[in-house]
Structure formats: C-alpha cells, structure tokens
Amino acid sequence: MFQLAVHFVSPFKAVVLQLRFVGACSILGLFGWSLASFAADAIARAKKMHQIPCTKCRFFTGDYRLKCTVNPHLANTEQAIGCSDYQNKNI
Ligand code: SF4
C-alpha cells in the first residue's frame, strides 16, 4: 500500500516539496503576524492605561479599600480617563 502511494507521489515530488516549503513559510508568517498583533495590542493597551490620571490626583488615597474619596467606583479604571473631578496633587 505504502509502495503504491510512493509510486503515485514520486512524479509530483518537486511540487510536494514546494508545497511543504510554502506551508512552512505560511506557518512562520502566521506566527510572526500573531506576535506582531499581540505586541501592537499590548502597546495600545499600555498607552490607554497610562491615560488614567488617578495616581496623580489629589483625591487618590492609594488605599485599596477606598481608592478615591470623590469617585471610588471610577478610580483606577478606564472610566476615570477625562474625570471632571481630577485635580493635580502637586498644585
Ligand atoms: S477624582 Fe477622578 S481622577 Fe481623581 S482619583 Fe477620583 S476618579 Fe481618579
């Protein structure tokens, strides 16, 4: 059975080798694309998280039980970006 399969495949050996090469390149390309996509997502996420102003705000306590005395439900979340109650603690 195996001999028969080898007999049928041998004329297409060059094509099969090229298909293997294309397959390997495709897998490597997908892996690289996945890594690049992951890195781009991580950078975008990090930029978004750095826009949260709470750690520089006067009302931020740094205590996990009450993070903010004005908007405790918003503190350290993405919803705090553009918070209208933000006041710089250094002023
Ligand atoms: S007032 Fe707004 S910016 Fe300041 S700590 Fe609270 S949620 Fe964050």
CA quadruple 41, 43, 48, 49: dihedral, nearest 10: 110
Give the atom of ligand 1 at the shortest distance from the alpha carbon of 85: 1
pTM of the model: 0.70
The conformation of residue 88, written as its DSSP 8-state character, comes to B
Average pLDDT over residues 77-84: 96
Place of tokens 């293997």: 20
The closest alpha carbon to 58, from 46, 73, 70, 66, belongs to 70
- The residue that leads in pLDDT, 34 or 89, is 34
Q: Say what the pLDDT of residue 86 is.
A: 96
pLDDT band at residue 14 under the 50/70/90 scheme: confident
Question: What is the per-residue DSSP string for 27-63?
Answer: HHHHHHHHHHHHHHHHHHHHHHHTT--GGGBTTEEEE
Average pLDDT over residues 67-80: 95
- Whether 74 lines ligand 1, by a CB cut-off of 6 Å, is yes
Q: What is the mean pLDDT of the chain?
A: 93
Residue nearest to atom 7 of ligand 1 (CA): 75
Query: In percent, how much of the chain has pLDDT > 70?
Result: 99
